[in-house]
Structure 1
Amino acid sequence: MSQTEGSSKSEIPWPFADGVMAEAIRAFDWPSTELGSIDTWPAGLLFAIDMMLGCAFPATLQWGRNLILFYNDAYIPLIGTHHPHALGQRLLSSFPEIAAIYPPFAQRVWNGERIVLEDQLFHYTRNDVPEDRWFNLSYSPVHDRDGSVSGILAVGLDTTAKVLAELERSTADTRLKRVLETDAVGVIFFDYTGTVVDANDVFLRMVGYSRAEIETRTVTWRTLTPPEWVKVSEEQMQKFEQTGRIGPYEKEYTLKDGSRRWMLFTGRDLGGDRIVEYAIDITRRKEAEATSKAMEERFRALVEASSDVVYRMSPDWKEMRQLQGRDFLANTTEPERTWLEKYIHPEDQAFVWATIQDAIENQKTFQLEHRVLQADGTIGWTFSRAVPLRNKDGEVIEWFGAATDVSARKRAEEALLRSEKLATLGRLVASISHEINNPLEAMSNLIYLAHRSEGLPEEARELLQLADAELKRIAHITRQSLGFYRESNVPADTSVTQLLESSIDLLRGKINTRHAEIHCRWQDDITIKAVAGELRQVFSNLLANSLDALETGGQITIRAKRYLGKDGAYVRILFLDSGRGIPLETQHKIFDPFFSTKGNLGTGLGLWVTKQIVDKHHGSIRVRSRNLPPTTGTAFQITLPA
C-alpha cells in the first residue's frame, strides 16, 4: 500500500493585500523588533492587519501596550515625513506631540470601550510643520481569544476642510454666544494666572458659586481642584504653554459645598491674557462605569467560583450571544449562529436540540449532560443548565446558562469500568490457565515418549518437534498472555526472521484457505535481544489480523530490515495487507482493550496484547490504513531496538 500526500499553497505571501504598506510590512525586518518574526505573530494580529490594510479610509493598528504602529496606504498623506519610519515603531515615540492627550483615549479602549469622536482636533507636526487637523475617529479594541484587549484599531476621516469652512462661516462673537447658551456645557474664562474671570450660568450651577463670587476674582482652578488632581492640571497648563490648548482630560472638581463631581475639560488660548475652558459633567457616566465594572467583576467571580463556562442565548437558541469560560470551549464575544455544529459532538446534536426545543416550548429549565468539542480539538463531556430570562411582560428575552466540565468524571468512570473488565479477565485467565496446564503437561509427556520411539521417520520426528514447540508456546501464553505475567522473562538473542517464518508456518492452513499470497522481504538473518515466545505472539497476531481482513486471493507483504537511527541500531518489521482497511474514526481505538472491528468474532484483546509486548521490548507500533476504494489496506509497523 502507498500513500501520496500533497498540498496546494497560495504563492501570494502574507499580507494578502496590495499596496505600499502591504509591501512595506512584508519587507520589514520584524525579527529585530519586539514583535519578532511574522511566523510567531498571533492569529489575531494577522487578522487585524488584514482588516486595517483593506480599509479605504485612513486607518492604523496599534498593537500591544507599547502601541506598535501599523498603518494603511490612505494614512500615508496624513503623516508626511513620518512615513515610512513610523511603521513598526511605538506610536508615542513617533508622534510625541500627542503623548499628553492620547493615553487617556488609549486606556479607555484598553478597558474595552469603543470610542467614536466627531471632528476631533489634533495638534501635531507633519512635514516638520505644526498643524491642526480635525477627524471623525473610531477607536475599537482588538480582542484576543480569552477576551482581553491586544490592540487598538483606529479608523479616521479627515474633516479639517469641513471644520475650517464652518469656522469661516461664523464670527467669533456668534460662536461665543452659542457656547454660552449651551445648557449642558459649562464655559469658564481664566486669565494666565489661573483665576476665573467669567463663566456661563451652566458652570455656575455646576460648581454652586454665584456670579458675584466669581467677580471677586478669588476663585481659581486650584481652589476648584482636589489636591490629588493638582498635578494633572499642572501638566495641562504646561501643555497649554507649548500648544495653546488644554485637554481634553477628565478630573474631579470640588464644588462650593465640598462635594465632588467628575468633569471633562478642554480649552484653548483666546489671546489677550484669556483662556476659555469647556466643562461637561460626566459624573453619571463615571458612576455607571464604576457600577458596570463592579458588576462585571462580580460576574467574573461567579464564573470562576461556580462553573467552568457561562453562556447567553437568544430566545430561540439560534444565536449564541456570549460564551465565557476557562479554556474549556473556544470563547466567542460576537453572535454565533453555528454554535451547535461548532461545540456539540455530531452524534449528540439532534438530542441536544430536541431537549432545547422541549425547554422552549414548555418554558422550563434546560439541563442535559452531553459531549462537546473542546477548544483543543478533543472530545469532552459537560453538564449544561440554562434558565429563561423574561421582560416585564413575561416574554422570554434571553436564556442564561452555565456548563460544567465533567470530562474528568467521565474518564474516571470509563477507567473504572475498564479496570473491572481487566480484573474479570485476569480471574478468567487464571482459571483457564489452571484447567489447561494439566492436559498440556500430559500431551507434552506423550510427545516426548513418541519422539523417543525407535525407528521413527525423520519427517515425523520434525513434526513432533514442531508440535512440542507449539505446546510450549500455548503453555507460555496461558502464563503470560494479556499482560498477567507471573514469572520473569529474560531476553535472549532471537532471530526475527526465524520467528516470522515460524509464524507463517503456524498459520499456513489459514493462508491456504484464503488463497493468500505472502511476500517476504528480508535479505539476511536479523537478530535482536528479545523474548522469543512473546515476539512470535506479536507476529502471529498481526499476520492473523491481516488474513482476517483479506478477501480471497489478497496479498500480504512482510518486510524486515535493520537500520541505524540517531541513537543506535533498530529493526523495523512491516506487515502490509491489501484488505478492507480500518475506518479513520476508529483507528485511534484499535489498541484499546476490548475494542474489536470483527464484531462477535473478536475479543478486542489481540492488538492490546501486541502493544503491551512491543512496549515491554522498548519498541513502538504504528498503523496506517485506508478503507476507501480503489486503494484499501492496512500497514502495521513495529520498530524495536537492536
Structure 2
Amino acid sequence: MSGTSTEKPPYAHFFTESSEVGALMRAHDWSSSSLGLPEGWAIPLRTLVAVMLGSHQPMFVVWGPARTLIYNDAYAEILGRKHPEALGRSFLDVWSEIRDDLMPIVEETYAGRALHMDDIMLVMHRKGYPEETHFAFSYTPVRDEDGAVAGLFCACTETTEEFHAKRRLAAEGERLRDLFRQAPGFFYVWRGPEHVYEMANDAYLQLVGHRDIIGKPVREALPEIEGQGFFEWADQAFATGEPYVGRGVPAKLQRHPGAPLEERFVTFVFQPIRGPDGQVTGLFVQGSDVTEEKRAEAALRASEERLRAALEIKTVGAIYLDMQGRITDANDAFLAMAGYSREDLNSGLLSWQRLTPPEWMEISERAVAELNETGQTTPYEKEYIRKDGSSWWALFAAKMLGDGTCFEFVVDITQAKRAEEALRELNATLEKRVAERTADRNRMWRLSTDIMVVHRLDSTITAVNPAWECVLGWPEEELLGRACLDLIHPADREATLAENRRLAAGRTTRRFLNRFRHKDGSYRWISWTAVPDGDLVHAVGRDVTAEKEHEAALHEAENQLRQAQKLEAVGQLTGGVAHDFNNLLQALGGCLTMIGRRTDDPKVRPLLDAGQQAVDRGAKLVQQLMAFARPEGLRPETIDLRDRVLAMSGLLERALRADIRLVTRFAADLWPIEADPTQFELALINLAVNARDAMPGGGELTIEAANVTLAPDDPTRLEGDFVRLSVADTGCGMTPEVLTKAFDPFFTTKEVGRGSGLGLAQVYGLARQAGGTAWVESGSSHGTTVHLLMRRSVASVRAAEEMPASTLAARRSGLVLLVEDDAIVASTVAAALEEAGYHVVQVATADEALPLLAGEGRIDLLFSDVVMPGRLSGVDLAREARRLRPDLPVVLTTGYSEVATQAEGVRVLAKPYRIDELVRLLDAALPETGCAAKTT
C-alpha cells in the first residue's frame, strides 16, 4: 500500500468516520495490543465498538484478560488529560488512582454478574489534581461466541455538577432555615383551613410562652385569643386569598401556665400560600412584638400632653428622630413652627441638620454627643430654619429610646427671648419634669427585684436597695461601709479588680459575671451593669445562678453524650473483631474435629482435646466481648440465675482487682427467671465494675439471691413470685444527693473518660424488662447494695438439646444447601456434613443461593451464615427461602449480627459451634418424613 493510497483498512467499516476516537482507532497500532488486529476481533466486540462510536452518551468497552480499554468521544471528555493515551491501555492502569474502587466492580462483572449504580463517588486525577466526581453507570458482562465472559460494556453518566448543585442547595436551605429560626421578628406557617402550625421560629415561641404548638390547630394551641379577631382575620385571608395586615394590634396571651392574660401589641401580615393549582393551602405569617414601642410611645405622648398642659401654650413641638438624624414623626405644633406640611415630613427628607443654621451646628453636635453618652440631653437653646428661610428661637431637649431612636421636644421661645417671664415658666416646667424623673428613679430603687448598689472606686458600699436582702440575704445595715470585694468568691477577685480599674478609667461595665457570697455562706452568680460617676460607681446586678447551673448541666450532658458515642464506637469495633475471630475459631474447631475422626493415635488425642478446649475458651471469651458490643434486640429466655452467675465468676474476678474478694450466696431451690442472658450478664458486669471503683482500698463484693413473694400492698407496687438478686460492696457508698439520681441516664460521679453514666440505667432497664424493679441502699462510708427484683418464670430452664446416639445414627441423609463466604469454614463444614451422611451444595453468598432456591432442584435444608458480602444477608435469604419453599427447614449461624433476631421462626446456631452440635441441630430441623423437595 503506497503512502498516497486512499484504501481503508479492512476493519474501517466499524470505526465511525465522523468520530474523533474512531479516527484514532484507525490510526492505532493494534498489532502490539493484546487484542490483535481489529479484523480478528470477536463479533460482539466489533458490534459494541460500532454502537459505542456512534453514540453521544459516554460509553466504553473493557476486553480480554488484559482488560484493554476502548471508548467513544463522549467518554474521552470524562478522561480529561488521560486521553488519548488511555486508548488501548489496561482499564485499571488508566484509572490507577481509583483502582481499589473499580477492582471489585470489574471482578464482579467478569464473573458474569451485571451491576448498576445510581451514584458512586470517585476521586479522579484526570485534570492534574485530585477531584471528587460522581457517576451513574451500569456494567454489563459481554460474552464471546463460546458463551464465556470476554469483557464488559459500560454506559455511564457523570453527575458531578448535579451532585454539587444538590449539596449547595441543601446548604442554602439549612442556612435559610437557621436565619428563619433566629430572625428577630416572629415567623410561622399555618396549613389548611384549620390553621395548623407547621413551623415557627424562636421569636414566636417566646411570644406564646414556648408552648407545644407544632402540628396543632391554632384554636387548640392558643384558645385564649378566641374573640380577639385573629381567628376571623385568618379565616378571611384563607378564604379570599388576600393578605391581611394588622398594625399595633393588642393581643391577650397566657404566656406562662396558670398565669393571668398578658396584653402584648403585635404588627403582622397574614400572607396566603398558594399551591400549584392556585388554591390557597395555608398562611405565612410574619410580624413583630411592638409592645415596648407602644408603651414607650404612649408614655412619651402622655409626657407631651402633660407638658402641653403645664405650659398652656401651643408652641411645644415633639419629634422622633432615627439614628441618622432624620425626623420620622412630628406633631402639628412642630410642623407649624418649621413651616412644613405633613407631606414634607413623609418625604423622609427632613433632618435636624437641614433645620439647623451653620452657626448653630456646634451646639447641636454637642447635644448629640451628650445624648449618646448619657441617653438624654440637658435643654439647649438654638435657632431653627423654617421652610421659607426665616428662623425662630427654640429650646430643645432629647432622650434616647430603647430601640435606638430619639425623642425630642422643641419649645418655641421666640417670645421668651423677648420676655423673661416666659423663660421662668419654662424653667419651672423643666424642674417639675426633673422631680418626676427623680420620683420614678426612687420608686424603681425600692421596687426593683435586681440588686442595686452605689460604691466608691475602692469598692466601699455607700448605698444598696432592698433587693439585696431578698437575693443575697444581706440587710442594708450590714452592708453600708463594707467593701464589695469582701463578698466576692476568691476565684473571681482578680477579674473583679480588673473590671474596677476599667470603671476608674471611666468605662462602662456591661454583663460582667462574678460570684457574690450569700449570707448563708453559699455563692450566687450575678451579672453586673455598672456606670462610673466621678468617685462613685452605680451598678445593677441580676441573679443568673439558675442560668449558669443550667448551662453547666447542659455542658456536662454534652460531654457524657460524647463519651457514650466513643463507647459505642469501641463496641462496634469490638463486635467486628469478634465476628472475624469467630470464623477463625469455627474453622479451627471444625478442622480439629475432622482430624479427630481420622486418627486413633493415643499420642495425638490429648493434643486434639487440648486444642478443642482452647477453641471453647476462645469462643466463651468472644461471646463475653460481644455481650458489650452487639446492639441487638432482646431475646428473653428462661435462665437459672445461680448457674448463670457461677458461670460468670471467672469473668467477674477478672473485672475486679486482686484485693477484692468475691462472695456468692444462693437460697435453696432458687426459682428460674425470664430475661435476656446477654443483658443480664452485662448488668452484672456493670455492677461489679461500679463496686470495684467504690473500693479503691480493696474489700468484698457479695452476690446473693433468694425467692420472695410480694403481697398486693407491697411498697414496690408489685405482686407475686420474684427472685431478688442483691449485689453489695463495702466501699465508700453514696451521698443522699447522688442516691436520688443513681438510675438517671448519663448521670455519673466519675470524671470524664471514666464512665458514661449508663451502667445503672441499664441495670434498672433489665429489671423492668424482667417484670420487676430495682433500687439502691447506700450511705456515705457504709457501702452500697443494689437490689434487683425479677419475676419468676413459669417455664422450666431449657435443658441442653442432647439427642440420643440412636437418633443420630438414624438421621444422616438429605441435601443441604450450605451458604458460607469464608472458604476455610465452608470447606470444613461441608466435609463434616458429607462424612455425617449429608449431600452438600456449597455457595459463597446469598445472591448465588437464591437461583438454586428458585429452581426445581432438590434441597432438603438451608444452612446459611448471616453476615456475608453481597446484596442479601442470611436473614434476607431465609425470608426468600420461606417464600419460595414454605416447608423448607432453615438454620442460620452467626457470631455477631444486629439483625439475626429479625428472622422469626428460624433456628439460629451461635458461632463458633462444634460439628457434633451442628449435625444434631440439622437432624432435628429435618422433617420426620425425610427429605423435602420443592413443590411450587
Larger radius of gyration: 2
TM-score, normalization: structure 1?
Answer: 0.40
- Higher RCO by CA contacts (8 Å cutoff, separation 6 or greater): 1
